[in-house]
Amino acid sequence: MRKPSPDWVNILFLSLSPLVGLGGTAWYAASQGIVWWEPVLALALFMAIGIGIGSGYHRCFAHRTYECHPAVECVLLFFGALALQNSALRWARDHRDHHRYTDTDRDPYSVTRGFFWAHVFWVFYKEPPDTDFRNVPDLLNNPRVMWQHRWSRFLGIGVGLALPTLVGALFGRPFGGLLWGGFLRIVLIHHTTFLVNSAAHLWGKRPYAPEISARDNWLLAFFTHGEGFHNFHHAFPSDFRNGVKWYHWDPNKWTIFALRLTGLARNLRRTPRPLIERARARVLEAASAAASTMSPSPTA
């Protein structure tokens, strides 16, 4: 196999953006103070873009767990592009390969190659020249996805940085808007999403499918709008929910359900409860059997 070529654009951007986003924002806050709207802007964009990735890129386009109105698709594609995580077409292609080849060498961000590879290093290399989109034929036929594919970089960089700067200018602090709503937000979105590929495959519980590395991590779910319930997701990837219990923190699940209530989403796919319970029972039975074999035998 040909050794992959470094992608210096990605390497430089992903190395420098934390310095600007974290260091620059901290310097600006220390020298210019913090105005209430700046963290609110960062949080609002973090939430909206996180929903664009989770409800849009992930659950709608990569897994087709539900269908939604074309206008909703446009909104999800717009906010997803602002995450600067590639177009929905490329994101879904890589993610479908991740599920098909989990924990193997063909998994593009397999955690078996280490935490940092799964987290970010896999993005530091260019795609092989023979990479194609054969596993996303449905998305190739979606005109909204294809339009976003052509314009995702412009949306992510141009609109993604211009919009918070404009909001900041309306308050007389354009640089504050750029740092808080632009660069800091980019860093937060990047690395919370990346943690699903790395941390959620290393730390947590595996109540449904112990044979794969994906884990349920409630703390990560809180910062990723529900994406941290990763063992359930890998066991039942066609389910529109990641947090299957009603009390599981999963804003993406609630967003999709709210869209259905308003008639903007349909055909929400759920895994039948008996199938979920059988999976849990198999794990518990296997754990009980393993414990019994390890317990010391009684002596006479």
Residue 4 has pLDDT above 90, yes or no: no
Does the global pTM surpass 0.85? yes
Is 131 a domain residue? yes
Is 2 a domain residue? no
Residue 297 has pLDDT above 70, yes or no: no
Sign of CA dihedral 108, 114, 120, 126: negative
Structure confidence at residue 284 (pLDDT): 92
Structure confidence at residue 290 (pLDDT): 77
What is the rounded average pLDDT of the residues 197-222?
Answer: 97
Is 87 a domain residue? yes
Domain that holds residue 243: 8-292
**CB under 8 Å to 218, separation ≥6 — which residues?**
204, 228, 229, 248, 249
CB 224 within 8 A of CB 188: no
Share of the chain above pLDDT 70, in %: 97
Structure confidence at residue 154 (pLDDT): 96
Structure confidence at residue 100 (pLDDT): 97
Is 34 a domain residue? yes
**Residues 27-59: tens digit of each pLDDT:** 999 999 999 999 999 999 999 999 999 999 999
Structure confidence at residue 131 (pLDDT): 86
pLDDT interval class at 287 (50, 70, 90): confident
Structure confidence at residue 296 (pLDDT): 61
Is 95 a domain residue? yes
Phi and psi of 229, rounded to 5°?
A: -80, 70
**Residues 227-250: tens digit of each pLDDT:** 999 999 999 999 999 999 999 999
DSSP string of the chain? -PPPPB-HHHHHHHHHHHIIIIIIHHHHHHHH---THHHHHHHHHHHHHHHIIIIIIIIIIIT---EE-HHHHHHHHHHHHTT-S--HHHHHHHHHHHHHTTTSTTSTT-GGG-HHHHHTGGGGBPPPTT---TT-HHHHT-HHHHHHHHHHHIIIIIIHHHHHHHHHHHTT-HHHHIIIIIIIHHHHHHHHHHHHHTGGGTSSB-SS-TTSS--B-HHHHHHTTTTTBHHHHHHSTT-S-SS-STTS--HHHHHHHHHHHTTSEE------HHHHHHHHHHHHHHHHHHHHHHSPPPP-
Is 261 a domain residue? yes
Is 1 a domain residue? no
**Residues 128-180: tens digit of each pLDDT:** 888 899 999 999 999 999 999 999 999 999 999 999 999 999 999 999 999 99
DSSP string of 161-212? HHHHHHHHHHTT-HHHHIIIIIIIHHHHHHHHHHHHHTGGGTSSB-SS-TTS
Count how many domains the chain has.
Answer: 1
Is 237 a domain residue? yes
Structure confidence at residue 103 (pLDDT): 97
Share of the chain above pLDDT 90, in %: 92
Work out the number of other CB atoms within 10 angstroms of the CB of residue 260: 17
